[in-house]
Structure 1
Amino acid sequence: MKIAFATTDKVNINSDFGSAEKFDIYEISKYGYHFLDTICVEKQPETTQYGYKNKDNILRVNKGESDTDIATVIDALNDCTIVYTTSIGAVPAAKLIKNGITPMTPELDQEKITGILDRLLIAVKGNPAPWLRKVLQRENDRTQ
């Protein structure tokens, strides 16, 4: 399963969804986890360009949180099962959920990505909490 983390430093979850400039993508399974990619979000003052490319390329969106901007970011994160941010508004959270992506916020204001991944790995290997079981089942259904 792929997990996205809103980060400015590749170490901590330290950006909210609407202002995140980077999402680091990791893949996790019961065998471990590894870094896959970074999606960069470049806020454009006024443009009609939409689209994204992976591997440290740039996702261009207009400033603000219009439906089109949110949809563009969600489209870039579409392969992810979970997205961790420091905070997220109700509209983007609902749109993520509608697209089968679970929005999450860490318990601390700034938490290490590896700390979250380590805890998720333990849960995936053992007896996951109900919310994680549901996410894992949805991921399993998605891949079949």
Structure 2
Amino acid sequence: MTSTRRLSLVNDEFQEQRPERQVGTLRVAIATQDMRGLNAHFGSAKRFAIYDVTPDAWSLVEAVVFDDVSDESGTHRAEGDDRIAPKVAALKGCQLLFCLAIGGPSAAKVIAAKIHPIKVPEPESIDAVLARIQTMLRNAPPPWLRKVLAEAGAVGRKASFEDED
């Protein structure tokens, strides 16, 4: 059985669930072992740092901690012992997921939850990941990011691909 703990940041009043994402904000999950770097595979991540990111700022919204994670051995658990579904459920509401690796079945579940997984080839600091997202948001976002922003309602208009000549 997978145990999940949440550390949520709240302002003035207690909320039982994650705060709503503000319009124009991108909610990003980062797979991490230590809350300092993007340094984990999706299945073996002990933690996910969840941030709200705008072109000008970012803020930590929540840290989700898992006790029961993959050992990356490639072996599957007994039927009915699902470690992936609780992780996907915990990331609900995020638009992007950054991780070092993610298996096909896990990626399919993440995509079905309307979360865009992004594999990064090498570990890097969370600050570097967030700064790169801000740069993409400030400049011309790539088509895949414009689509994510449009679907999330984080932009005022649908993504237009007419200006890409």
Q: How high is the TM-score relative to the length of structure 1?
A: 0.77
Which secondary structure state, in structure 1, belongs to the residue aligned with residue 67 of structure 2?
Answer: strand
| Overall identity of the aligned pairs, in % | 31
Greater helix content: 1
Q: Which residue of 2 aligns with 1:140?
A: 153
Of 32, 37, 50 in structure 2, the residue corresponding to residue 25 of structure 1 is 50
Q: Which residue of 1 aligns with 2:125?
A: 112
Give structure 1 stretches of 5+ with no counterpart: 45-62
**Cα distance, 1:120 vs. partner?**
0.9
Query: C-alpha offsets along residues 93-136 of structure 1, whole Å, 9 cap, x if unaligned?
Result: 011111100011124x2111111111111111221011111111
Q: Please tell me whether Structure 1 or Structure 2 has the larger radius of gyration of its CA atoms.
A: 2
Paired residue total: 122
Greater strand content: 1
Paired letter, 1:104: I
Q: Does 1:130 align with 2:155?
A: no
| Structure 1 range deviating more: 67-76 or 115-124 | 67-76
Which secondary structure state, in structure 2, belongs to the residue aligned with residue 123 of structure 1?
Answer: helix
Q: Which residue of 1 aligns with 2:29?
A: 4
CA-atom RMSD in angstroms: 2.1
Of 71, 77, 92 in structure 1, the residue corresponding to residue 85 of structure 2 is 71
Poorly superposed stretches of 4+, deviation over 6 Å: none
Q: How high is the TM-score relative to the length of structure 2?
A: 0.68
Distance 1:25 1:64 in 2: 27
Distance 2:101 2:63 in 1: 19
CA gap of 1:123–1:67, structure 2 versus 1, over 3 A, is farther
